[in-house]
Amino acid sequence: LKEPYVLTKADVVERYLPSLLTASSEPVTCFAPSNIALCKYWGKREKELNLPVNSSLSISLGHLGTQTTLSLAEVDQVWLNGERLTDDTPFARKVIAFIDLFRRDQAVTLKVDTRNNIPTAAGLASSASGFAALSLAINQFFALDLSDDVLSAFARMGSGSASRSLFQGFVEWEMGQQEDGMDSFARPLVARWDTLRIGLVKVATGEKKVDSRSGMTRTLETASLYQAWPAQAARDISRLHSAISDKDFQLLGETAEHNALSMHATMIASWPPLVYWQPDSLAAMQKVWQLREQGIPIYFTMDAGPNLKLLFEAEYEADVLTAFGEIEVVSPFSAVP
C-alpha cells in the first residue's frame, strides 16, 4: 500500500510565496513576545506541517520575548544573546532550516541575531517568541508583505506555539482542517484585561530532558488517557471565551489550572513516564492551593517543564510577592496599545 502523499513545508511555501525574493540591503529587526497557553496545545495530528490535534488559547507576555535582526552576511551565521553558535547546534540548525524554506535556491546568506530579554531565571521557553520574531523579520527582510494569517501559519511550521507569539494580548490558535494547514493559524482576541497579572515562578532552568516535540509524540503513542484530551481542550476553549468576555477571573483561573493539570496527567500516563515536575514544583502548587484556601484568588499553569506561571489580579500582587518572594510579575496588557 502506498502511503498517502503528505504535503511538505516546501510544497506549502511554494503555493503561497513568490519564487524570487528581494533581500533588504539594510538590517531588519523585529520583536515578538513570549506566550503562555491557558488552554494548551498538546499533540500533533500531522508532524511535517506541525498541525495540532486541538485549538489553543494563550496570553502574550508584553515586552518579554525575542528580538531578531536579519542582515546580509558572507556566510550563514546564527547568534544567540550575543554569542555566535556553531552550525551544528540544534537551535542554529532549526533556524537555518526555517530560513531555507523561504529563500529556497537563492544565494542569499544571512546573519541571524537573536536576543531574548526573558530573564533566564524565569525558566521560560523561547522557541515560540524566537520563531515568531524570525517569521516577522523574514517577512520584512524579503518584503513578502504576508497577511497576519499566512505569517502565523508559517510561524506554526517553525514551532506550533510560535503561531500565537505574533500577537499581544489573548490569542487563539484555531486547529484548522485544511490539508495544507493554511487555516491553522492564530489570531488575537479583541478583549483586554488590564488587571490581569502573570507571576513567573522559577523552579529550575536549563535544558529539559524531553522537549515538547518528542513529549507530544510519546504521549500520543503511549498514553490511553490522551483520548480524553481533545474534548477537554474544546470545552476549555469555550470556557475561556466566557471567562474573558465576562471578566470572570475564577472561571479563567480554574479552567487554566485544570487544563494544565489534565495535560500533565496525559504526560504522566505515557510510557516511559513523562514527569516534568520536581519536588519544588509540587511545593509551589501547594502554596497556590493554600493561598486559595485563605481566600486569595490565585491559580497556576505549567508547560512541559517544572516551572509555574501564576495567574492573579493586580490587587493581590503584594500577597503573591509575600508568599513567593521576588518573582517576576508580568502585566500582559501594558504593552497592548
Nearest approach in angstroms of CB 213 to ligand DP6 is 4
Half-sphere exposure for 329 (CA within 13 Å, toward CB): 19
Residue 161 phi/psi, 5-degree rounding, is: -70, -15
According to DSSP, the β-strands at 77-80 and 170-173 are unpaired
Single residue of 104, 187, 208, 213 touching ligand DP6 by CB under 6 A? 213
Nearest approach in angstroms of CB 147 to ligand DP6 is 21
Task: Return d(Cα 215, Cα 230) in angstroms, integer.
Answer: 16
| Closer of 127 and 139 to ligand DP6 (Cβ) | 127
Task: Return d(Cα 22, Cα 103) in angstroms, integer.
Answer: 10
Nearest approach in angstroms of CB 137 to ligand DP6 is 18
Q: Does 50 bind ligand DP6 (CB under 6 A)?
A: yes
Nearest approach in angstroms of CB 214 to ligand DP6 is 9
Q: Does 161 bind ligand DP6 (CB under 6 A)?
A: yes
Rule CB under 6 A: which of 101-130 touch ligand DP6?
Answer: 127-128
| Closer of 243 and 291 to ligand DP6 (Cβ) | 243
Q: Does 239 bind ligand DP6 (CB under 6 A)?
A: no
Nearest approach in angstroms of CB 156 to ligand DP6 is 7
- SS3 call for 115: strand
Q: Rounded to 5 degrees, what angle do the CA atoms 33, 331, 174 make?
A: 50
Nearest approach in angstroms of CB 54 to ligand DP6 is 9
Size of interface with ligand DP6, in residues (CB under 6 A): 15
| Closer of 139 and 161 to ligand DP6 (Cβ) | 161
Nearest approach in angstroms of CB 143 to ligand DP6 is 27
The residues that bridge with 196 in the sheet, in sequence order, are 313
- Of 59-67, 70-78, 138-146, 155-163, the window that binds ligand DP6 (rule: CB under 6 A) is 155-163
> Residues 294-333 vs ligand DP6: string with x where CB under 6 A?
---------xx-----------------------------
CB 108 within 8 A of CB 21: yes
Q: Does 184 bind ligand DP6 (CB under 6 A)?
A: no
- SS3 call for 110: strand
Q: Of 95, 178, 185, give the one whose Cα is nearest residue 148.
A: 185
From residue 113, alpha-carbon distances to 46, 92, 164, 175, 292 in Å are 30, 11, 21, 31, 43
Q: Rounded to 5 degrees, what angle do the CA atoms 233, 158, 50 make?
A: 45
Nearest approach in angstroms of CB 131 to ligand DP6 is 8
Task: Return d(Cα 201, Cα 321) in angstroms, integer.
Answer: 11
Cell readout for 175 is 486547529
| Closer of 57 and 323 to ligand DP6 (Cβ) | 57
Q: Of 109, 113, 162, 171, give the one whose Cα is nearest residue 135.
A: 162
- Of 36-44, 181-189, 279-287, 311-319, the window that binds ligand DP6 (rule: CB under 6 A) is 36-44
Task: Return d(Cα 155, Cα 157) in angstroms, integer.
Answer: 5
Single residue of 28, 30, 37, 59 touching ligand DP6 by CB under 6 A? 37
Residue whose CB is nearest to ligand DP6 in the complex, by number = 160
- Number of residues written out for the chain: 337
Single residue of 212, 219, 301, 307 touching ligand DP6 by CB under 6 A? 212
Q: Does 257 bind ligand DP6 (CB under 6 A)?
A: no
- Locus of grid cell 522557541: 127
What does the binding site for ligand DP6 look like in residue numbers (CB under 6 A)? 37, 40-42, 50, 56, 127-128, 159-161, 212-213, 303-304
